[in-house]
Structure 1
Amino acid sequence: MPHQHDHPHDQPGGHNEHHDHSFDHAHHHHDHGKPSSQKRLLLALIITGGFGIIELIGGVMTGSLALISDAGHMFTDTAALLLALIANIIGQRPANTANSYGYARAEVIGALINSLAMIALVVWIVVEAVSRLLAPQPINGMGVMIIAVIGLVVNIISAWQLSHDHDNMNSRAAMIHVLGDLLGSVAAITAGAVIYFTGWQAIDPILSVVVSMLILRSTWNLLRQATHVLMEGVPQHLNLEEIGNALAAEKGVVQVNDLHIWNISGGKVALSAHIVIEKPETWPLQLQHINHMLGEHYDIQHITLQATWFSIRPTRSIPIRRIPH
């Protein structure tokens, strides 16, 4: 049985020049916008890290767990931003013989590490909050409010910077850190106000736990997404069976086998499949049409298809498999 292995950018007649141009273009598209992302990450890192030190000192001086936990968020934010910046730089490196897909998945690894770090922080805050409830400590409500308000402004600035990179998974991981810290600042302001006006000290550790649970939910979702990408799972916005049926419904396609769809990075989808066709001479045009369909309807651009055909024209007795395995 003859075989033919085609790349999504191959054209009828196998023009290698067009193939090379398309390959380069794909890499240029991947790198678009990276310098601006790095500048935003660096600015957010400097702002967050600098104020984290101030907030930690203020938390110790006022005795506020909400403020100390917010400072802890600040430091994990700083680490997350640093990791995001490093992953952003590494992700720009071009593909080579050792890493044929390049280094785009560095952003996914960074998101995974950031998520695990945030979960560890949440556990620490909960343990410390329970300890504070059992053994209350005096807290300076006014001092907490003043420092937390400044922290809120800092976090808003950092969040605004990172909001421009919503398509980058690692930047989104850092964004979750910053948003969690923003919630921490709001909680610290609330705790400081309640303590200042009512003297109820328990509000400080209680709000720390509430904010931590909100952060945990977002972090858990990101952790699942990063793990799904690393496990080569089908992107959550795509349906494997639907795409398999769409391929099988193409004119001249007899069978679709070994269909695989996965994320190379957070926003770059790849597909590979084995397709049985009726006539080899129709394959070049079929390939063009299939690539257009996958790109237009499912935004899949990195496509590798292997076509085979029967030496004898198939009869109706040969089953058509529409669901890939």
Structure 2
Amino acid sequence: MSFALVLNLSFALIELVGGLWTNSVAILSDALHDFGDALAMLLAIILEKVSHKQSDGQFSYGYRRFSTLGAVLTGMILVVGSIYILIEAVPRLFAPEQPHADGMILLALLGVGVNGYAAYRVSKGTSLNEKMLMWHMIEDVLGWIMVLIGAVVMKFFDVPQLDAGMAIALACWILYNVVRNLREAMKVFLMASPSQIKVEDVEAAILKVEKVEGVHHGHLWSLDGERHVFTGHVVLSGDVGLVEIEKIKNQIKKMVKEFGIVEATIETELAGAPCVDPEHH
């Protein structure tokens, strides 16, 4: 990610100069977007490193959610930047200014190459934070392809409104995808169950374990969108002994790892015994 940061920041400076030279609001908008990307990457790099720290007395579950914090901050930066692009581009539809098409074509070709390579470098990440950054890069590549096509059209036809139209289309497309990813990151912060797993499915799998008669108070949430935590009360047959109880608990903990659950806290109860914990509403 560090290489992608340097590459992105360097190219954003080129875009800023190129946007002023070509008088293109689409390129200036993308320059602003890339500066936002660079800031987001810097935050992501710092918070991703913090997220790998071991748990301690202050953060007993570890620092994994700092990675998700990076995804939230990155998403917010993109949302603000996209709204600013819309504010700047919409008036250009009604008062268009002819951009320098040849210069836009050269910058667009460079933009596709630079951002395409940066996207490849960050595509190997799996966390929400890294996925959000990958979307930054993919959006940049597609945005530059759009600019390239638009610049070729404007080179041969007198349609200066196309420049502002491209900026608006790019901003709306970014907003759509970022809000979707931002929603997933916020669900992690609000301790929602992971989208790909249902607590009912985990409980159903536990019920298949021998001597298990019931499961209640099941709670499932995610540390960072990849590593999940489960807690639950498991009701066992009344004839099980202490040694067998420990074996069943260990069997359940190994089994739930198939769901991406890295930590499971299992409270055992014997059939017929009352549960003293309150229901959660």
Q: Same fold (TM over 0.5)?
A: yes
Could you tell me which of 256, 278, 292 is aligned with 2:215? 256
- The amino acid that maps onto 2:263 is H
- Confirm or deny: 8 A CA contact 1:163 1:175 kept in the other structure: yes
Partner of 1:217: 176
- For residue 305 of structure 1, report the CA deviation from its aligned partner: 0.7
- The amino acid that maps onto 1:287 is K
Partner of 1:93: 53
- Confirm or deny: 8 A CA contact 1:80 1:173 kept in the other structure: no
Aligned: 1:307 with 2:268: yes
Aligned: 1:103 with 2:63: yes
- For residue 84 of structure 1, report the CA deviation from its aligned partner: 1.0
Matched residue SS, 2:117? helix
- For residue 175 of structure 1, report the CA deviation from its aligned partner: 1.1
Aligned: 1:51 with 2:11: yes
Q: Distance in 2 between matches of 1:65 and 1:182?
A: 17
Partner of 1:293: 255
Matched residue SS, 1:164? coil
Partner of 2:145: 186
- The amino acid that maps onto 1:196 is K
Could you tell me which of 120, 128, 152 is aligned with 1:160? 120
- The amino acid that maps onto 1:174 is L
Scaled by the length of structure 2, what TM-score is found?
A: 0.92
Aligned: 1:78 with 2:38: yes
Render the CA deviation track for 1:66-88: whole Å, top value 9, x for unaligned.
Answer: 11111112111111211110111
Aligned: 1:242 with 2:201: yes
- For residue 249 of structure 1, report the CA deviation from its aligned partner: 3.4
- Confirm or deny: 8 A CA contact 1:112 1:227 kept in the other structure: yes
- The amino acid that maps onto 2:257 is G
- The amino acid that maps onto 1:65 is V
- For residue 250 of structure 1, report the CA deviation from its aligned partner: 2.4
Partner of 2:98: 138
Partner of 2:136: 177
Q: Distance in 2 between matches of 1:199 and 1:144?
A: 15
Aligned: 1:198 with 2:157: yes
- For residue 283 of structure 1, report the CA deviation from its aligned partner: 0.6
- For residue 199 of structure 1, report the CA deviation from its aligned partner: 2.2
Q: Distance in 2 between matches of 1:301 and 1:268?
A: 6
Q: Distance in 1 between matches of 2:260 and 2:114?
A: 37
Matched residue SS, 1:303? strand
Aligned: 1:62 with 2:22: yes
- Confirm or deny: 8 A CA contact 1:55 1:147 kept in the other structure: yes
Could you tell me which of 226, 232, 243 is aligned with 2:185? 226
Which structure 2 segments of 5+ residues have no match? 275-279
Q: Distance in 1 between matches of 2:149 and 2:76?
A: 28
CA RMSD of aligned residues (A): 1.8
Matched residue SS, 1:262? strand
Which structure 1 segments of 5+ residues have no match? 1-40, 319-323
- Confirm or deny: 8 A CA contact 2:227 2:260 kept in the other structure: no
- For residue 292 of structure 1, report the CA deviation from its aligned partner: 2.5
Render the CA deviation track for 1:268-300: whole Å, top value 9, x for unaligned.
Answer: 11111112222243212211221222123x232
- Confirm or deny: 8 A CA contact 2:33 2:82 kept in the other structure: no
Scaled by the length of structure 1, what TM-score is found?
A: 0.80
Q: Distance in 1 between matches of 2:74 and 2:216?
A: 37
Q: Distance in 2 between matches of 1:209 and 1:180?
A: 13
Could you tell me which of 81, 85, 96 is aligned with 1:121? 81
Partner of 2:277: none
Structure 1 residues 93 and 299, CA, compared in 2 at 3 Å: closer, same or farther?
closer
Aligned: 1:284 with 2:243: no
RCO higher in structure (CA 8 A, sep ≥6): 1
- For residue 152 of structure 1, report the CA deviation from its aligned partner: 1.2
Render the CA deviation track for 1:74-128: whole Å, top value 9, x for unaligned.
Answer: 1111112111101111112211111111111111011011111111111111222
- Confirm or deny: 8 A CA contact 2:194 2:225 kept in the other structure: no
Q: Distance in 1 between matches of 2:261 and 2:62?
A: 18
- For residue 248 of structure 1, report the CA deviation from its aligned partner: 2.8
Identity score, percent: 27
Aligned residues: 273
Could you tell me which of 213, 218, 231 is aligned with 1:272? 231
